[in-house]
Amino acid sequence: MDVDFGIEGGNPLASCESFVNCKCPQCGADAKRETDTMDTFVDSSWYFLRYCSPNESDAPFNKELVNYWMPVDTYIGGIEHATMHLIYFRFFTHVLNELGYLDFDEPAKNLFCQGMVCKTAYFCEECKWIPEEDVVGGKEKGDAIINGKCKTCGHDVRSEMTKISKSKLNIVDPDSMMDKFGADCVRLYMLSDNPPDHERIWSDERMQGSWRFLNRVWDAVIVNLEEIKNASTKIPSNLDEASKALRRKTHESIGKVTDAIEGGFRFNTAISSVMELLNMVRSPEKVCPEVLRESIESMLLLVAPIVPHFCEELYSLIGNSDSIFKAEWPTADANALKVDTIEMPVQVNGKVRCKLTVSPDTAKEELEKLALQNAKVKDDIGNREIKKVIVVPGRIVNIAVK
């Protein structure tokens, strides 16, 4: 068959006139054959192998290169994707492995399914699915319009919360969102609203929360800019209590954000931790410039994977000449997390009666002694018999009385 595989674009089979032009088997009239003879699932079931060796000219893929790059560590996709494409994705890999073309039988080591993004859709019995702008009248209820009419035919319109879909005309235009808030703000909202594997409801209103957070970060940098630009990166040894507290919060946040991202892409938890750190950075308490710089710089590094353009700009403003993405990921300093004293609640029959301010290293025997000597605890126990004292160092003292 005379097929030209060198054509640019299109289907090579369409270049073969002897295949395309034929006679209808029913009536004998001139006819043309369909040239799209393969379902798209066939291509999507193996194309990742081609990506590993795009310059291979003598075979569909280069086995040595594919075995170097594959299998991928984590495959991220929606749950519907997992029940369709990934079945073929795995099936083809198993077959190619059995035939000796691959040295592995699973194309991915781990699967992470992100949740569906949902938004209100509107249905008219006459016009079927219609965009929100074609709903007239009615009243707003949250992010939906209820009891509205179709602008085209006047019929009642019902609303339902469903996954964002082109067919249901409830898509979100990313361009308009980015024009209004910026790409980073849209990314921040998408990642901060819910755990990534949960279903989430799209809300234009809640985008404002992400916008306000970015503005607070910006203000925190600008207000302290002159002070931190000239600050040393070396932390002094004789810190005051306010500086110690901020430094402790900074390194707690580093640990929490790192665990949240590496432990299941929990970006919403990571962002929440950075928000807590920001609140302390914006506190009116005076801290030393070196600690303030470390906190602000760490905050930018932690949120940079989520709002890259925004953090790149601020990272440059505080005096860094290289890109923020050339900087090392921050590491929590165990010494900064140490505290001189902690508060331990003391319970009598399950009710908190006082709190002991003690060293974290205080022994169990000493904790029990301090609890029983406390005036409030002694008053509460009175003449009752002490049955048991349970001490969990660093956590709680529980006294059971009869």
Q: Could you read off the pLDDT of 140-157 as tens digits, one per residue?
A: 887 788 889 999 999 999
Q: Is 265 left (phi over 0), alpha (psi -120 to 50) or beta?
A: left
**Residue 172 confidence (pLDDT):** 86
Q: 216 with 259, same domain?
A: yes
**In angstroms, rounded to a whole number, what is the distance separating the alpha carbons of residues 278 and 347?**
34
Q: 122 with 213, same domain?
A: no
CATH at 361: 3.10.20.590
pLDDT digits over 303-324, tens only? Answer: 999 999 999 999 999 999 999 9
How many residues in total does the chain contain?
402
Low-confidence ranges of the chain (pLDDT < 50): none
Q: Is residue 202 part of a domain?
A: no
Number of domains observed in the structure of the chain? 5
Q: Is residue 189 part of a domain?
A: no
Q: 98 with 123, same domain?
A: no
Q: 236 with 275, same domain?
A: yes
The sign one gets for the Cα dihedral 30, 35, 38, 41 is negative
Q: Is residue 200 part of a domain?
A: no
Q: What is the pTM of this model?
A: 0.72
**Residue 371 confidence (pLDDT):** 93
Range of the domain at 330: 207-337
Q: 102 with 123, same domain?
A: no
Q: 307 with 236, same domain?
A: yes
CATH at 255: 1.10.730.10
Long-range contacts from 313-316, C-beta under 8 angstroms, 24+ separation = 314/217, 314/218, 314/221
